[in-house]
Amino acid sequence: MTTIPDLQEGPAGYFDGASGRRRQVTLRLRSTLEVVADGAVVATWRLENIRRADGPAGRLRLGCISAVPLARLEIDDAAMIAALIARCHALDADRGGAGQTGRIVFWSLAAACSIVVLAVYGIPFAADRLAPLVPRAVEQRLGQAVDGQVRILFDAKTCDASEGQAALRAMVEKIRIAGGIEHPIDAQVLSSAIPNAIALPGGKVYLFDGLLQKAQSPDEIAGVLAHELGHEHHRHIMRALIHNGGTSFLVGLLFGDITGAGAVIFATRSVLQASHSREAEQEADAFAFEAMRRLGRSPVPMAALIFRITGAEGKGIGGFTILNSHPLTEDRLAAAKKQDRPNSGPEILSAAEWRALQSICKEN
Ligand SMILES: [Zn+2]
């Protein structure tokens, strides 16, 4: 019989969840797990909060439900692995469940098939056909992981003035219903001066305050949000990720490493740098035009807003403008003008709601 000593020490690799850099650390396991780097405790994880994260065989990879979501420890030391497995009783608490296992098996098979498809037909073909196969749950998980990185990258927070949030929700709900999207959309305003809007995987849409401040009417913002929902509806973001990441991304999915630091940083970069294809932009526009038509509103203000920004500021601000992800060509403006019509539906937001939305990032 072996007894486990009160204090166990061993080496590990540590990702702090923010930088993506792997640090060599020492673990001190007693009533809690201390992560020690250069003689200082950089993190303390309660044993009951420690969970197994997916990783390669022979190595124990851990996360902690009360730590930064992407923080990870990687342990190769056999004695330390044994001690952690013995002491962390909730290691596998969130796993299992027949439904989840079924989904994972299904998705693993899909990914395995997809690699064959990729090899045979090439990536663009596969990306279009695979994106619709990715389960929403997987896409949402990826979206959540990317979300944290986006806020870090833009050094921004989400604005949460309650009246502004209510106005945004009302606007997004109208567009969602008009566009026939059945799953929920989580839209928020990001406190960044950059005029942009992005859709992340899994139904998350960010409107940047910089764009909101440049807008002169609710229709301008509604049109841009409708365009983003068009990307969401057609799953362009997943398509772009699969296309840009190709096999390495799929292999990551296959081995369940989707929230691993490398995959997330890659995915974030891809989402932010994504220039959707011309076809994707046209599909998103067509979705936006149709949603606005059903709401009885003209799509021209959307084009006018984007044109105002790209006209006035060119390709400026840090390389991230709405121009990067949504190049506006004369064709697109012309297409919007072709859809122009007198407004037959009610205003999307009241004057008071519009004021609340525009001041969502202002401190009260
Ligand atoms: Zn777009």
Q: How far is the CA of 109 from the centre of ligand 1 (A)?
A: 31
Least confidently predicted of 118-122, 214-218, 252-256, 340-344: 252-256
Q: Is 188 helix (H, G, I), strand (E, B) or coil?
A: strand
Mean of the per-residue pLDDT values for the chain?
79
Q: How far is the CA of 280 from the centre of ligand 1 (A)?
A: 7
φ, ψ (nearest 5 deg) of residue 203: 85, 15
Q: How far is the CA of 60 from the centre of ligand 1 (A)?
A: 40
Is 0.75 topped by the overall pTM?
no
Q: How far is the CA of 231 from the centre of ligand 1 (A)?
A: 7
Q: How far is the CA of 262 from the centre of ligand 1 (A)?
A: 26
| Statement: residue 180 has pLDDT above 70 | yes
Domain ranges, ordered by start, for the chain = 8-87, 129-358
Strand locations in the chain (E): 8-15, 22-29, 32-37, 40-46, 50-53, 60-64, 72-75, 158-159, 186-190, 197-200, 204-208
pLDDT tens per residue, range 115-151? 555 555 555 556 666 677 777 777 777 777 777 777 7
Q: How far is the CA of 160 from the centre of ligand 1 (A)?
A: 25
Confidence of residue 69 (pLDDT cuts 50, 70, 90): confident
* Across 32-53, average pLDDT: 91
Q: Give the residues across from 250 on adjacent strands.
A: none
| Statement: residue 312 has pLDDT above 60 | no
Which residues, 6+ apart, have CB-to-CB distance to 308 below 8 Å? 214
Model pLDDT, residue 192: 87
* Across 154-161, average pLDDT: 87
Least confidently predicted of 77-86, 219-228, 325-334, 337-346: 325-334
Spatial CA neighbour of 300 closest among 279, 314, 285, 321: 285
Model pLDDT, residue 272: 62
| Statement: residue 71 has pLDDT above 50 | yes
Instruction: Report whether 130 contacts 113 (CB < 8 A).
Output: no
| Statement: residue 250 has pLDDT above 60 | no
Q: How far is the CA of 287 from the centre of ligand 1 (A)?
A: 11
Model pLDDT, residue 111: 61
Model pLDDT, residue 255: 46
Q: How far is the CA of 122 from the centre of ligand 1 (A)?
A: 24
What percent of the chain is predicted at pLDDT more than 70? 71
Q: How far is the CA of 353 from the centre of ligand 1 (A)?
A: 26
Q: How far is the CA of 281 from the centre of ligand 1 (A)?
A: 5
Helices (H), 180-277: 209-214, 218-233, 236-254, 261-273
Cα–Cα dist 32/323, whole Å: 49
* CATH number, span 8-87: 2.30.29.30
Between 56 and 207, whose confidence is greater? 207
| Statement: residue 57 has pLDDT above 80 | no
* Across 311-325, average pLDDT: 44
